[in-house]
Chains A and B, each alone.
Chain A
Amino acid sequence: MAERAQSLETDRRRLLAGAGGAALALGLGGRVALALVPGDRRLIVFVLRGALDGLSAVPPHGDRDYARVRGDLALAAPGRDGGMLDLDGFHGLHPALSPLMDLWRAGEMQILHATATPYRERSHFDAQNVLETGGDTPSGSADGWLNRAVALAGGSGLAGGLAVPLVLSGSAPVTTWAPQVMPLPDVTLLDQLAVLYGGDALLAPALEAARAATAVTGGGAMGMGKGAASLAPLVGGVARLMKAADGPRVATIDVQGFDTHTYQGTGNGRLARALAPLGAAIMQCRDELGAAVWGRTLVLAITEFGRTVAPNGTGGTDHGTAGVAFACGGALSAAKVHGQWPGLARDRLYQGRDLAPTTDLRALFMAVLTGHMGLPAAEVARRVFPEAAGLRPLDLILKA
């Protein structure tokens, strides 16, 4: 509270000093009015944990070095049996993601390649910290950039699953939802516990949020399993909550299983088995949200880093640097692969082993928050990504 009051006070003083007066006035006005913006936008973020191999998900078949450097992990050319699907004559799409071709053809998918956060080491956990806090280093802020965006936009966030991921953690209100596995406890017990939890700062708000969420989704007797099967009920519940006019605007869904050190495979294999449910889940978002809400929705799929260009000794890939990010949704108005392609020749690789990063991943996040969610650019730069000062948002092609 004190922090917010202080930042408003800072705003007021800068405004009086005339520093960028017009933009700031807009920023301040936006801040107050945003929660009331009509036609409110939706954002669903899939966090792909374990580091998705961008060179397999969106293989650059037009790069003359691709087949050679990828060896056994190179996907067959477009049109071949089990081969990749062509996107733009240079990039392809992993065959396990084939349902997404519908979106590509409809101008509802854009991809950012050769992208990375500012993190340049290779620890999953530190890299996820950077991905989720939006800072420059793992030990930066303790809250997530998406939560800071929710704080700016007003409303609340929704974490699909049993826990709130770091990207959505922070001072703005967030609730969780996961498919029920048992009938709900009886109401009287819950009422009694609500009283007993009374002053408990951890349990009381959790119970209150759980009861509120359950009233909307109506429970539904579906199990939380692992891997592919578990995504459908989770995505269904999240989409139904977001479809409501006063529902959460922003949601996250964690997906595991991308740390393909072994038996990564090409058309089949461990990576294909991880990608197929992801493609299905994105299409399920479209179907469950319905045309009207989908038209105001963007779905991101992001990961902590890419993987090594060359296969390792065990049919997989090790931790690398640059990778790929997906943006899908009816809010887009063209199909495009963004990013500057760094090449796969040995002297073009980062440290001689990884795809070199050419675009800061936060440029995509900034474009989504400003262009899609309609948050004022100056506020996004200052409050959501203060460590990315000067970074230009990606030129996502959005519907007017």
Chain B
Amino acid sequence: MTVESLVAAVRFGLGPKPGELRAGRDRAALKADLAPQPAAPRPKGVPATGAIVAAIREATRRGRERDVVNFLKNDAKDILVAEVAARTRRAVETDRPFHERLVQHWSNHFTVSLAKPIAAPLLGAFEREAILPHVTGRFVDLLRAASLHPAMMIYLDQATSIGPNSRAGRRRDLGLNENLAREMLELHTLGVDGGYGQDDVVQLARILTGWTVDREGAGNAGRFMSVLHEPGDKRLLGQRIAEAGPDEAEAAFRMLAAHPSTARNVAARLARHFVADDPPPATVERLARVFRDTDGDLRAVSGALVDEEAIWRQPLSKVKTPNDLVQSIFRLIRTVPEGTLMIGALKILGQQPFSAPSPKGWSDRATDWITPDALLRRIEMAQKAAARLGRYADGAVLLDAGLGAGATADLAAAVRRAGDRTTSVALVLASAEFQRR
């Protein structure tokens, strides 16, 4: 049981299952996680995405608050709980944990959130349909799928953005909403210092007009309605994009995906997630170069992460987010929790699933997660989990399976000395080592 297998399991993976450390997964095993696989089937209790869109439309059609509240409290909530359960099951059971961590990373890069409640029933579908199939594919495909998924278009108001000079805009005095365009430039592609201006935000918003959710609820992807599209040529980042209806968005996606600022922004966020809160500039540059050289091939970029020596030299230097922590506990005790239990636990720890406070997503910095009160809650949860496991778990066994060579001698001694099994388990789960990855 080596330190290398711990790094593979916790930094790249989601925490070891029993036996995972002993199996000694290495760099080759991590790269094998990146091979393409067929997508998982739709979770039980979740209708097709088109049907969810139709249900949202029905709930909001008459503009009555009662209908919306009723929908959110019942159907939408049931769907969300089923999605959280399915996502947790994937995380707890997968034997390709590096792939699943990438899904979670990209899902955070392209954040959609319960902060817009009506999007709730689409958030799981977004991760399964727009993110998961593309995390080892080409960035431009990921960008397109994420931007045009109904969840994103509702979350960032694209669904109701209308070209002021489009046929619909002229008729009803409706207009542009810059929200998706701005966050696409600032967060998803170029980055805030990526070299765009307010005019590019407006131009991209004009380019995107027409893309909206399908009113009849057919299919999964967004739908282009020319009646909403702003006519005329546009100019993005100094380049002319000729009037071409739905193809304008495609031209913009390609331009943004190929832009060197995008390579740098994507590399910086990946490096922060996998390497360090403040990753070495050389690491970011290496990843950005792979991104540029391979035309945004995310399998190649992810493989390059595995080759980053800095990761292997500094085990346990990142702090687990609450989501990392809870998933790693359930993997270790081989239990798939109910969706409601997962939601409740993460709510208490400050990271309710699919509820990032802003389009920027959840923080990837230790100081944002380890505050006095947040730490107390982690300890409370460790104790509660230990109490629930009771006599079915033993701290010494969990220590060996969960931390292996990463446990300090002091922790091992305290676990051995613990007066009861519950305390021994709580000590492992609340330990400084187990709070890190």
CB of A193 within 8 A of CB of B160, answer no
Residue B306 at the A interface, CB < 8 A?
no
Q: Does residue B394 face the partner (Cβ distance < 8 Å to A)? A: no
Report yes or no: A189 in contact with B372, Cβ–Cβ below 8 A.
no
Contact between chains at B375 and A210 (CB < 8 Å) = yes
**Cβ of A123 and Cβ of B192 under 8 Å apart?**
yes
B414 within 8 A of A: yes
Q: Which of B162, B169, B379, B382 is packed against the most chain A CB atoms within 10 Å?
A: B379
* Interface residues of B, dominant DSSP: helix
Once bound together, how far apart are the Cα atoms of A366 and B360, in whole Å? 30
Complex contact B432–A206 (CB within 8 A):
no
A193 to B410, CA, bound (A): 11
Given the known inter-chain contacts A202-B319, A203-B370, A256-B357, please indicate yes or no for A210 contacting B186, CB distance below 8 A: no
B430 A206 Cβ-Cβ under 8 A: no
Which chain A residues numbered 255 to 301 have a C-beta less than 8 Å away from chain B? 256, 259, 261-262
* Whole-angstrom CA separation of A314 from B168 in the bound complex: 13
Q: Mark A302-336, 1 if CB is under 8 A from B, else 0.
A: 00000000001110101100000000000000000
Interface assignment of A20: CB less than 8 Å from any CB of chain B: no
Greatest chain B CB density within 10 A among A169, A210, A224 is at: A210
The binding surface of chain A is classed by DSSP as loop
Contacts of B22 in A (CB 8 A): none
- A121–B198 Cα gap in the complex (Å)? 8
Contact check, A214 vs B157: say whether CB atoms are below 8 A apart.
no
- For the complex, is B328 an interface residue (Cβ under 8 Å from A)? no
Of A83-91, A159-167, A390-398, the stretch lying at the interface with chain B is: A159-167
| Interchain CB contact (< 8 A) of B186 among A123, A169, A202, A256 | A123
A81: Cβ under 8 A from any B Cβ = no
- Nearest chain-B residue to A165 (Cβ)? B368
A36 CB-CB contact with B under 8 Å? no
Q: Which residue of B lies closest to A254 (CB)?
A: B357
Set B319, B372, B383, B431: member contacting A185, Cβ < 8 A:
B383
Q: Would you give the 0/1 interface string for B324-359, flagging 1 where the beta carbon is closer than 8 Å to chain A?
A: 000000000000000000000001101000010110
CB–CB A313/B175 < 8 A:
yes
A76 CB-CB contact with B under 8 Å: no
Q: Are A186 and B178 also in contact (CB < 8 A) when A163-B374, A196-B427 are?
A: no
List residues 42-57 of chain B with CB under 8 A from any CB of chain A: none
The number of chain A residues with a CB under 8 A from chain B is: 58
Residues of A within 8 A of B366 (CB): 202
Is A93 located at the chain interface by the 8 A CB criterion?
Answer: no
Q: A313 to B371, Cβ gap below 8 A?
A: no
| Complex contact A206–B372 (CB within 8 A) | yes
Known: A175-B372, A206-B375. A262 touches B160 (CB 8 A): yes
* Cα of A196 to Cα of B380 in the assembled complex, Å: 16
Q: Does A122 sit at the interface, judged by CB under 8 A?
A: yes
Please give the distance in Å from A242's CB to the nearest CB on chain B: 16
Give 1 or 0 for each of B413-437: 1 = CB within 8 Å of chain A CB: 0100000000100110011100100
Residues in B with CB closer than 8 Å to A261 are 157, 177, 179
Partner of A196, one of B355, B369, B432: B432
**Would you call A176 an interface residue if the criterion is a C-beta within 8 Å of the partner chain's C-beta atoms?**
yes
- Report the bound CA distance from A213 to B372 in whole Å: 9
- Counting CB contacts under 8 A, is B376 at the interface? yes
Known: A162-B350, A182-B384. A313 touches B372 (CB 8 A): no
Closest chain A CB from B176 CB (angstroms): 5
Q: Are A210 and B373 in contact (CB under 8 A)?
A: yes
Q: Which residues of A contact B348 (CB under 8 A)?
A: 181-182, 224
Cβ of B254 under 8 Å from chain A:
no
Do A203 and B375 touch (CB < 8 A)? Answer: yes
Q: What chain B residues lie within 8 Å of A198 (beta carbons)? A: 410
Q: Provide the bound-state CA to CA distance between A262 and B115, in Å.
A: 13
Q: Are B160 and A314 in contact (CB under 8 A)?
A: yes
**8 Å CB interface, A194-211 against B:** 195-198, 200, 202-203, 206-211
Cα–Cα, bound, A176→B377 (Å): 13
Tell me whether B411 is interfacial, beta carbon within 8 Å.
Answer: yes
Please tell me if the beta carbons of A313 and B160 are within 8 angstroms of each other in the complex: yes
* A207 near B177: Cβ-Cβ < 8 Å: no
Residues of A within 8 Å of B176, CB to CB, are 312-313
B161 contacts partner chain A, Cβ-Cβ < 8 Å? yes
Taking the closest CB of chain B, its distance from the CB of A230, in whole angstroms, is 11
Within 8 A of B (CB), among A115-138: 121-126, 138
0 or 1 for each of B36-79: is its CB under 8 Å from A? (1 = yes): 00000000000000000000000000000000000000000000
Contact, CB under 8 Å: B376 / A184: yes
Contact with A along B191-208 (1 / 0, CB 8 A): 010000010010000000
User: Closest A-chain residue to B116, C-beta based?
Assistant: A262
Chain A nearest Cβ from B16, distance in angstroms: 21
Cα A261 to Cα B201 with chains together (Å): 15
Residue ID in chain B nearest A175 by CB atoms:
B372
Q: A217: shortest Cβ distance to chain B, in Å? A: 10
With a cutoff of 8 Å between Cβ atoms, the chain B residues found around residue A256 in the complex are 115, 357
Q: A123-B192, A193-B430 are in contact. Are A313 and B162 (CB under 8 A)?
A: yes
Q: Please indicate the chain A residues that have their CB under 8 angstroms from the CB of B350 in the complex.
A: 162-163, 224
Is A312's CB under 8 angstroms from B177's CB?
A: yes
Chain A residues with Cβ below 8 Å from B368 are 163
B150 within 8 A of A: no
Residues of A within 8 A of B379 (CB): 185, 189-190, 193, 207
CB closest residue in chain A, given B435? A203
A6 at the A/B interface (Cβ < 8 Å)?
no
Chain A 128-154 residues near chain B, CB threshold 8 A: 138
B414 engages A138 (CB within 8 Å):
no
Distance between Cα atoms of A351 and B202 in the complex (Å): 14
Give chain A nearest CB distance to B376 CB in angstroms: 4
Nearest-CB residue, chain B, relative to A177: B373
- The answer to the question of B237 belonging to the interface, with a C-beta cut-off of 8 Å to chain A, is no
| Contact assessment for A313 and B430 in the assembled complex, using a CB-CB cutoff below 8 Å | no
**Could you pull out 21 A-B pairs where Cβ atoms are within 8 angstroms?**
A50-B358, A122-B182, A123-B186, A123-B192, A163-B369, A163-B374, A185-B426, A189-B379, A189-B427, A190-B379, A196-B410, A203-B370, A206-B371, A207-B376, A210-B373, A210-B376, A261-B157, A262-B177, A312-B176, A312-B177, A313-B161
Q: For the A-B complex with A125-B358, A203-B432, A213-B372 known, give 17 more contacts whose Cβ atoms are closer than 8 Å.
A: A125-B186, A126-B192, A163-B350, A177-B373, A181-B377, A189-B379, A189-B430, A193-B430, A197-B432, A206-B374, A207-B379, A224-B347, A261-B177, A313-B164, A314-B174, A316-B157, A316-B177
9 A-B pairs with the lowest CB-CB distances in the bound complex, closest first: A313-B175, A210-B372, A209-B372, A176-B371, A210-B376, A206-B375, A178-B373, A162-B350, A314-B160
Q: Which residues of B are interface residues toward A (Cβ below 8 A)?
A: 115, 157, 160-162, 164, 169, 174-179, 182, 186, 192, 198, 201, 319, 347-348, 350, 355, 357-358, 360, 366-377, 379-380, 382-384, 410-411, 414, 423, 426-427, 430-432, 435
